[in-house]
Amino acid sequence: MFKPCDILVTSSRVEDRRALMRILNGLPINVFSSSTVKQAEEVMSQKKLALVFCDEHLPDGSYRELLSRSRTAQKHPRLVVTTHTGEWNEYLEATRRGAFDVIRYPLQPADVELIVIRAMRDQRDASAV
């Protein structure tokens, strides 16, 4: 059984952020939200996040800054890039840079839940080592 974990949703689009948070609400997790890279970095510095969902583009940067930040952080959360375009080249670039996954809007609950389950399983396995 999985213990609750902390997840951050970062999107400048209120509708997208709310939709993702509605999907996550039924899972055994704590959900935090932000709308900028700066806000996300603040949450990342205060919480031990298991997973970060982050829009491809934000008003003050992109997922790339958060990936860079997460790699240097002691608490290394997995980052999922959320996108409206879903182009294959962008998917390849994000995963090459270290993204855990890439998911396209409109988000499907089953896809989001699968990503969360994978991240929680990976976190559990890493802490067991």
CATH number at residue 17: 3.40.50.2300
The structural domain count of the chain equals 1
Low-confidence ranges of the chain (pLDDT < 70): 1-3, 71-75, 126-129
Name every residue whose Cβ is closer than 8 Å to that of residue 55 and which is 6 or more positions away in sequence: 10, 11, 12, 13, 16, 63, 81, 82, 83
What pLDDT was estimated at residue 1?
47
State the Cα–Cα distance between residues 46 and 48, nearest whole angstrom: 7
Phi, psi of 98 (to 5 degrees): 115, 5
Strands (E), 14-110: 29-34, 49-55, 57-58, 61-62, 78-83, 101-104
What pLDDT was estimated at residue 87?
83
State the Cα–Cα distance between residues 25 and 75, nearest whole angstrom: 23
Beta bridge partners of 55: 82
How, if at all, do strands 5-10 and 49-55 pair? parallel
Global pTM reads: 0.90
How, if at all, do strands 49-55 and 29-34 pair? unpaired
Q: What is the domain range of residue 92?
A: 5-128
What pLDDT was estimated at residue 128?
63
